[in-house]
């Protein structure tokens, strides 16, 4: 009865309880499912269980990340309800163009699918596929009721033999999706154009026909007609590459060449006492063209090698740890090279390291100083130096300059950052004169003018002295100009010959092809070394520019594909081919004749038959 005594107060309590109950029901049935909690949405891509493919290291690879929203803001889910109709139309246009910016967060959990079991764990360069080498981050995901993209797609390098008819089967669907939420799947490759193509599936399972090169598959989430999230995966379809069981693949497999310092590696066995070991590699197509470094994969004891230095001939550096047992240890180096036509070659080297302690002698080298580019030829030759463990080439260079009586002008130290700016000595450059054919190349290349090239500083040979591309470079056994500084290159002590050479054109006058910095010429098509000049043009086929006739010689020429220089030669005159076209017999009182006409040029001639004769 007490309850009814204060009916007004009790009515307020009842109404409050009913309002709370109604709010809870509305939250559960309406507000939460349509995305009120979008700022906390966690989009998940399912990881293939056995996938060991190369992918971007870490979770911030923009090729394997989910867009927070069409605007890229973490709070876009909350802001999207406030957008105008005009902004909504803009987002729909973005959907067509596939231009959404990706977010840098993705959760991954185990799964199996079309890429399950496809591996490429030994790849060593980013450009063979998409991304760096790295282990996938596995984050177990609970079913927390939030919207997720479920898929078995991954960034992947796939070869032709791993798929049937180059068709990739995969699944992609939404979990915990509310009404009005949908998933679209699009593929973009060289056959679809920039906008890509929509893939049709059964709501879960899809099939994508891949083509050679990059195939970008994008999963797009739309809520109430607006794009809110997306994730893209890059599947790179490549030709099957050579391996140890199949060392060559294709009609024209590349040729792999190797050097230790300047000595060519014959066979597959290498012996060294230099623990700062450098292997120089070059891969050539069947047409003799050098393959870029991202078409070469190198491993050392099963692990990917660090990116090389150099240009065309690439230097791969390996630090050899002390042997675990005894004073020597074997290591394995593998090299795989491929072109863009499906040809590839595999080579395996056995490297034997014989331990030598730091500071102990591992061999010797010889040092020569060459200034042929300014007409001085060889300035010093025959210096011998003992190469010690852990001593870079800068030690031998400085010792040689001191031996020849030259003062080195350099920055850095012998052990780090060493850069030789020039050399000095009384009268060292006296009589210097740039060869005329080289001067023409340097001027044409825009690196100097004839006045500057003719200006001689008697007591020094320094960088930038004759041209903006002048300075000192070094070569090992005349084969390789290392792509690293002298304090970073460690000699193997195999009686190597180091030559310090002065250049006027970034090394183009020494036989190098240089594209950085960009100038008019990438090569001078000749070398000015060792006191002389040797042309090295890359000529095309001979072409006739003037046809020969029976009365005049012809001319044919060929053009260097690098510098444009022309070479001509004379085509001998053609021989007449006469045939009789008319005749008049002589008489006793009148000459006769025979008329001839050349079948080649049409010229005519007449042979007289004297009178009184009867031929």
> Is 431 part of any domain?
yes
CA 291: distance to chain centroid? 9
Q: Are residues 368 and 510 in the same domain?
A: yes
Q: Are residues 583 and 569 in the same domain?
A: no
Q: Are residues 474 and 381 in the same domain?
A: yes
248-252, 492-496, 572-576, 585-589: least confidently modelled range: 492-496
Predicted TM-score (pTM) of the model is 0.61
Confidence of residue 577 (pLDDT cuts 50, 70, 90): very high
Percent of the chain with pLDDT over 90: 56
d(CA 10, CA 15): 9
Q: Which of 485, 480, 467, 504 is nearest to 419 (CA)?
A: 485
Q: Which helix (H) or strand (E) holds 10?
A: helix 7-26
Confidence of residue 492 (pLDDT cuts 50, 70, 90): confident
> Is 112 part of any domain?
no
User: Which of 189-198, 412-421, 520-529 has the highest mean predicted lDDT (pLDDT)?
Assistant: 412-421
> Is 80 part of any domain?
no
115-129, 177-191, 318-332, 588-602: least confidently modelled range: 115-129
- In this prediction, residue 542 carries a pLDDT of 94
Q: Are residues 186 and 258 in the same domain?
A: no
Domain boundary residue among 535, 558, 592? Answer: 535
> Is 92 part of any domain?
no
Per the prediction, the chain carries an average pLDDT of 80
Q: Are residues 288 and 317 in the same domain?
A: yes
**Between 218 and 97, residue with greater pLDDT:** 218
Q: Are residues 499 and 414 in the same domain?
A: yes
Q: Are residues 369 and 428 in the same domain?
A: yes
**Between 195 and 226, residue with greater pLDDT:** 226
pLDDT in tens, 296-313: 999 999 999 999 998 888
- In this prediction, residue 613 carries a pLDDT of 61
Which residue in the block uniquely carries the two structure tokens 């010093």? Answer: 380
Question: 345 near 253, Cβ under 8 Å?
Answer: yes
pLDDT at 85 over 60: no
CA distances (Å), origin 249, targets 144, 336, 337: 50, 11, 10
d(CA 278, CA 488): 11
Show contacts of 552-560: CB within 8 Å, 24+ apart: 560/525
Cβ of 204: how many Cβ atoms within 10 Å? 13
Confidence of residue 146 (pLDDT cuts 50, 70, 90): confident
> Is 37 part of any domain?
no
**Mean per-residue pLDDT for 232-245?**
90
Question: 138 near 110, Cβ under 8 Å?
Answer: yes
Confidence of residue 100 (pLDDT cuts 50, 70, 90): very low
Convert 406-455 into a string of H (helix), E (strand) and C (coil). Answer: CEEEEECCCCCCCEEEEEECCCCCCCCCCCHHHHHHHHHCCCCCHHHHCC
pLDDT at 344 over 50: yes
pLDDT in tens, 12-54: 667 767 777 766 665 444 433 333 222 232 232 323 222 222 2
- In this prediction, residue 198 carries a pLDDT of 94
> Is 162 part of any domain?
yes
Hey, what are 435's tokens?
A: 């060869």
Domain boundary residue among 470, 504, 535? Answer: 535
Confidence of residue 225 (pLDDT cuts 50, 70, 90): confident
Hey, what are 564's tokens?
A: 């444009």
Which residues share a beta bridge with 569? 556
Biggest distance spanned by C-alpha atoms of the chain? 172
Domain count, the chain: 5
- In this prediction, residue 515 carries a pLDDT of 84
pLDDT in tens, 282-293: 999 998 899 998
Residue span of the structural domain in which 554 resides: 538-574
Residues 6+ apart with CB under 8 A from 147: 35, 41, 43, 174, 175, 176, 177, 178, 181, 221
Q: Are residues 334 and 423 in the same domain?
A: no
Dihedral, CA atoms, 110, 112, 113, 119, nearest 10 degrees? 80
Taking the CA atoms of 320, 326, 332 and 333 in sequence, report the sign of the dihedral they define: positive
Q: Which helix (H) or strand (E) holds 403?
A: helix 393-403
Q: Are residues 555 and 584 in the same domain?
A: no
- In this prediction, residue 499 carries a pLDDT of 95
Q: Are residues 322 and 175 in the same domain?
A: no
Hey, what are 122's tokens?
A: 């030994």
Hey, what are 481's tokens?
A: 């100009």
> Is 114 part of any domain?
no
Q: Which of 484, 235, 496, 256 is nearest to 387 (CA)?
A: 496
> Is 10 part of any domain?
no
Q: Are residues 400 and 449 in the same domain?
A: yes
Q: Are residues 419 and 516 in the same domain?
A: yes
Confidence of residue 117 (pLDDT cuts 50, 70, 90): very low
Q: What is the CA radius of gyration of the chain?
A: 38
Domain boundary residue among 320, 354, 388? Answer: 354
What CATH number has the domain bearing residue 286?
A: 2.60.40.10
């Amino acid at each position: 009865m007490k309850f009814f005594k204060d009916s007004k107060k009790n009515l307020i309590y009842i109404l409050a309880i009913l309002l709370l109950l109604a709010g809870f029901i509305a939250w559960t049935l309406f507000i939460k499912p349509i995305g009120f909690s979008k700022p906390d949405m966690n989009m998940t891509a399912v990881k293939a269980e056995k996938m060991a493919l190369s992918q971007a290291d870490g979770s911030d690879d923009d090729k394997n990340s989910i867009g927070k929203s069409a605007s890229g803001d973490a709070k876009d889910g909350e802001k999207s309800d406030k957008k105008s109709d005009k902004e909504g139309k803009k987002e729909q246009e973005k959907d067509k163009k596939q231009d959404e910016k990706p977010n840098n967060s993705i959760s991954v959990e185990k799964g199996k699918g079309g890429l399950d079991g496809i591996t490429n764990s030994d790849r060593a360069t980013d450009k063979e596929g998409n991304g760096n080498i790295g282990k996938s981050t596995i984050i177990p995901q609970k079913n927390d009721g939030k919207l997720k993209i479920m898929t078995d797609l991954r960034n992947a390098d796939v070869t032709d033999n791993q798929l049937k008819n180059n068709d990739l089967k995969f699944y992609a669907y939404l979990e915990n999706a509310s009404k009005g939420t949908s998933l679209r799947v699009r593929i973009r490759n060289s056959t679809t154009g920039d906008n890509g193509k929509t893939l049709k599936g059964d709501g879960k399972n899809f099939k994508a026909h891949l083509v050679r090169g990059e195939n970008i598959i994008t999963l797009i989430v739309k809520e109430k007609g607006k794009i809110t999230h997306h994730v893209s995966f890059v599947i790179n379809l490549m030709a099957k590459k050579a391996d140890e069981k199949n060392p060559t693949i294709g009609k024209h497999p590349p040729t792999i060449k190797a050097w230790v310092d300047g000595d060519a590696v014959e066979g597959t066995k290498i012996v060294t006492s230099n623990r700062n070991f450098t292997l120089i590699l070059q891969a050539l197509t069947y047409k003799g063209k050098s393959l870029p470094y991202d078409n070469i994969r190198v491993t050392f004891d099963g692990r990917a090698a660090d990116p090389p230095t150099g240009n065309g001939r690439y230097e791969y550096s390996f630090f050899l740890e002390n042997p675990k047992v005894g004073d020597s240890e074997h290591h394995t180096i593998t090299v795989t090279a491929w072109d863009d036509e499906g040809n590839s070659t595999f080579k395996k080297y056995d490297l034997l390291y014989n331990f030598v302690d730091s500071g102990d002698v591992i061999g010797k080298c010889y040092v020569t100083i060459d200034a042929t580019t300014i007409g001085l030829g060889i300035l010093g030759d025959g210096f011998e130096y003992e190469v010690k463990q852990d001593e870079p080439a800068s030690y031998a260079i400085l010792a040689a300059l001191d031996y020849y009586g030259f003062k080195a002008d350099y920055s850095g130290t012998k052990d780090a950052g060493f850069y030789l700016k020039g050399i000095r000595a009384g009268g060292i450059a006296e009589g210097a004169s740039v060869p005329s054919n080289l001067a023409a190349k340097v001027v044409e290349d825009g690196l100097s003018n004839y006045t500057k090239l003719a200006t001689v500083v008697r007591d020094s040979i320094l960088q930038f002295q004759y041209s903006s591309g002048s300075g000192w470079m070094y070569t090992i056994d005349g084969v390789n100009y290392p792509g690293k500084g002298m304090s970073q290159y460690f000699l193997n002590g195999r009686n190597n010959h180091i030559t310090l050479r002065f250049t006027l054109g970034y090394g183009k006058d020494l036989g190098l092809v240089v594209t950085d910095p960009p100038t008019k010429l990438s090569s001078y098509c000749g070398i000015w070394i060792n006191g002389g000049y040797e042309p090295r043009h890359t000529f095309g086929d001979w072409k006739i520019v003037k046809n020969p006739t029976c009365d005049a010689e012809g001319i044919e020429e060929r053009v260097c594909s690098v510098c444009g220089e022309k070479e001509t030669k004379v085509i001998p005159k053609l021989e007449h081919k006469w045939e009789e076209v008319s005749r008049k017999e002589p008489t006793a009182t009148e000459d006769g004749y025979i008329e001839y006409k050349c079948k080649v040029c049409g010229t005519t001639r007449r042979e007289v038959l004297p009178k009184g004769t009867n031929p």
